[in-house]
Each structure stands twice: as C-alpha cells, then as structure tokens.
Homo-oligomer: A and B are copies of this chain.
Amino acid sequence: MSPLVEAALQPRKMPVQARSSVTVEAIAEATIQVLLAVGPDRLTTTRVAKRAGVSVGTLSPYYPNKRALLFSVMEQHLNFVADTVEETCERHHGQALAAMVGAVVRAFLDAKMRRPDVSTALYAVSAELDGPALVARIGNRARVALATMLGTAMDARFEELEFTTQMVYSAMAGTTRTVIEAGASAKMVRALRAELELMCVGYLEKAAARD
C-alpha cells in the first residue's frame, strides 16, 4: 500500500459547519443504499448524489473519488467489527482458553452478521467481478478431493465430513490470503505452513474425537 493511494482516498476538505456534516453523513448512507439497491457495477456518483439529495459536485470535497465512497463505507463496517472484538477481549482477560475462544468467535460472527446484507455487499465490492463465486465453484473440486481423502484416513472417522472439510479448506485459503496480502516473504510462507499444519491437525483430532 503506497501512501499516495491511501491519500487519494482522504477528503480534501473536512466539514466545518453543521450543514456539511449532515451532507457527508447523507452521502455515506446513500452509498450503502445505492450499493444494496443496484450493486457495485451500477453504482455511479450521480446516482449516489441524487439519492443523497445533493449535486454531483458536492461529493468531491469530501469523497475525492468514487472509490473513496466505498472505502469509507467499508471502513465503518470494519471499525465496528474491530470495536466489538476489542471489547470482548478485554472482558475475558485471565480466563481459560476455551472461554476466551468461545467468546471471541461469537462476538466476531455477531458483528459480521449484524447487517448481513451490508456484509455481503461489502464482500462483493471487495471482490469486484465474480471472483468469490468462481473461487467457490472451483474450490469445490479441491474440497471434494479433500473430503474423499479424509474419509480414507487410517486413524480417524468423521461424521460431518463435508463441513469439517469446508472448515479446513477455508482456514487454509483464508490464512494464505492474509499472508499473501501482507506481502509474503519466503520465511513467512514457511512459518505459515508449520502453523497451518498445527491448526488443521488440532482441529481434525477434535472433530474426529467428537464424531
């Protein structure tokens, strides 16, 4: 992430009068509504402006370009999730592992699911073309292969094989994605491999014990 790119998403002018604060908020809300109504492709600056009840020209001082509109909406959402996780963590200091994990997982999912339509729309924005659908469709081949293999394990049996496999695959894809987006050095990839093995084995042993 170059600072220049980030800078281009920051407002040129901050609202100083009450009037413009209202405008900025109306534009943000209009962006969400247009996004939900017509989708990311047909979201245009004119449409957002019209929905917010202002002229197109009003957008630029506060949202210097179209991406800034979506960026700010996503930022609000992510901040809400981060807030929720932080608070939950603080409330569980000093407790046992299982209690901590249970609470955090619950809080994280609850935050993501507070407005499922918005969460989904934001993933879609973040996804651009139909990447995720493609990932799901093609990743399915890998998941079927994984499930088939796990079904043959000499030392374990799984009741919920489909779902267990889905979890393993998602954890793999998700953590890898994070590492790649962080700028994947060879060392990081090696470390990731080791940790992912721990995670998958740890999970699968528990899943097999339960079933």
Give the B-binding residues of A (Cβ under 8 A): 1, 5-6, 9, 40, 67, 70-71, 74-75, 78-79, 81-82, 85-86, 89-90, 92-98, 100-102, 104-106, 108-109, 112-113, 116, 119-120, 123, 125-136, 138-139, 141-142, 145-146, 148-150, 152-156, 163-164, 166-167, 169-182, 184, 189, 191-193, 195-208, 210
Contact = CB atoms under 8 A, between A and B. Distances in A.
A92 B120 CA distance: 36
A202 B141 CA distance: 26
B201 A97 contact: yes
Contact of A154 (B96, B136, B154): B96
Given A71-B130, A182-B136, A154 B199 contact: no
Nearest to A164: B195
28 contacts: A5-B130, A67-B130, A71-B129, A75-B134, A78-B135, A82-B138, A82-B142, A95-B153, A97-B208, A98-B201, A100-B153, A105-B196, A109-B176, A112-B180, A120-B180, A120-B184, A123-B177, A125-B128, A128-B128, A133-B181, A171-B171, A171-B174, A173-B178, A174-B174, A174-B175, A198-B206, A199-B203, A202-B205
A129 B8 CA distance: 11
A183 B119 CA distance: 11
Contacts of A94: 152-154
A184 B82 CA distance: 21
**Do most interface residues of chain A lie in helix, strand or loop, or is the interface mixed?**
helix
A127 B127 contact: yes
A11 to B, nearest CB: 16
B116 A126 contact: no
Give 3 nearest A-B pairs by CB, closest first. Answer: A174-B174, A202-B202, A126-B131
Nearest to A85: B142
A105 B179 CA distance: 14
Contacts of A106: 193
Contacts of A133: 1, 6, 181
A198 B171 CA distance: 12
